[in-house]
Amino acid sequence: MNPVVLRAEGVHKTYGGHRALRDVHLEVRRGERVALLGASGSGKSTLIRCLCGLETTDPGTGRIQVFGQVLQAGGRNSAEIRALRRRIGVIFQQFNLVGRLSVMSNVLTGLAAEAPLWRAVLGRYGLAHQARALDALADIGLAPQAFQRASTLSGGQQQRAAIARVLVQGAEMVLADEPVASLDPQSTTRVMEQLAALNRDNGMTLIVSLHHVALAKRYCERVVALRDGALVYDGPSEALTPGFLEQLYGTAAADLLGERDDRPASPWLGEAPLALAA
């Protein structure tokens, strides 16, 4: 059995009197594909931010470990958090690219933690670093766009550029926060297939927050469901039938079900991924 690479114990998070997370306990093993599922406001994004140390838990509560080391405990980040963050890739819904810079320059920021400070500040990376960035862009089908301004890319292409940045970083675990929420269906498929490929081909552990059950069942074998900040289900995605979702979420289940998807399971589970168009 693969080792545990992430363990969260007793995680609470409060914003201005609102309890965003309520006593969340979670374990994820290396190489797992886990979907965080829940309606808007369920706590998915807050949990993602806590798991990578961008948010701290309530003072005196919670303990989060990654790769066997403490990331944060009792509401305080560990002294080792910078080193641990280098091993965690985070992908956001908003892409977080600098539009006026080239796609290549944006991808190279994934190396900021390992390059000398002056290189990161000036954006001057060596040939070896640039070759790594080009390889990553080729892997996700964006090599022809390497020297375009990031602002000229479509939404789906920008999200794939963010994935290339994670590849360059050399992350061992990827936390993706609603990565396809603002994309059209075709771009959604391309981005989700690429995230799946990170898990299959690179061995990365994948934790992705999603808003629709169809995507969770299609791309992840395990689902962790949140409601009002509390963990209400942790198990196989195939168990999430409409009736079971209604038990968990009541009338909000209709929003999670979204449009019906009768397509067969994604080919990434055992075959080559779908081709990615530029």
Instruction: Quote the pLDDT of residue 123.
Output: 60
Q: Which residue has the higher pLDDT, 29 or 259?
A: 29
Show Cβ contacts of residue 229 under 8 Å, excluding neighbours closer than 6 positions.
13, 19, 20, 21, 22, 24, 42, 43, 46
Q: 142: burial class by Cβ within 10 Å (0-12, 13-18, 19+)? A: buried
What CA–CA distances, in Å, run from 177 to 123, 134, 146, 195, 248? 27, 25, 25, 12, 22
Q: Which helix (H) or strand (E) holds 76?
A: strand 76-77
How confident is the model over 80-103, as a mean pLDDT? 91
- In the predicted model, is pLDDT for residue 257 greater than 90? no
| CB-based contact 173:88 (threshold 8 Å) | yes
Show Cβ contacts of residue 59 under 8 Å, excluding neighbours closer than 6 positions.
74, 75
DSSP code per residue over 200-247: HHH--EEEEEES-HHHHHHH-SEEEEEETTEEEEEEEGGG--HHHHHH
Average confidence score pLDDT of the chain: 87
| 171 SS3 class | coil
Structural class in CATH, domain 1-87+220-278: alpha beta
- In the predicted model, is pLDDT for residue 222 greater than 50? yes
Condensed to tens digits (0 to 9), the pLDDT of residues 164-210 reads 999 999 899 999 999 998 899 999 999 999 999 999 998 999 999 99
Question: What are the structure tokens assigned to 39, written together?
Answer: 């309606």
What per-residue string of b and e applies to 102-121 under the rule 16 or more CB within 10 Å gives b? bbbbbbbbbbbeebeeebbe
Domain positions in the chain are 1-87+220-278
Instruction: Quote the pLDDT of residue 111.
Output: 81
Q: Report which DSSP code applies to 55.
A: S
Show Cβ contacts of residue 171 under 8 Å, excluding neighbours closer than 6 positions.
86, 87, 88, 89, 204
How confident is the model over 224-230, as a mean pLDDT? 95
Condensed to tens digits (0 to 9), the pLDDT of residues 116-153 reads 544 554 566 788 888 999 999 999 899 999 999 999 99
| 273 SS3 class | coil
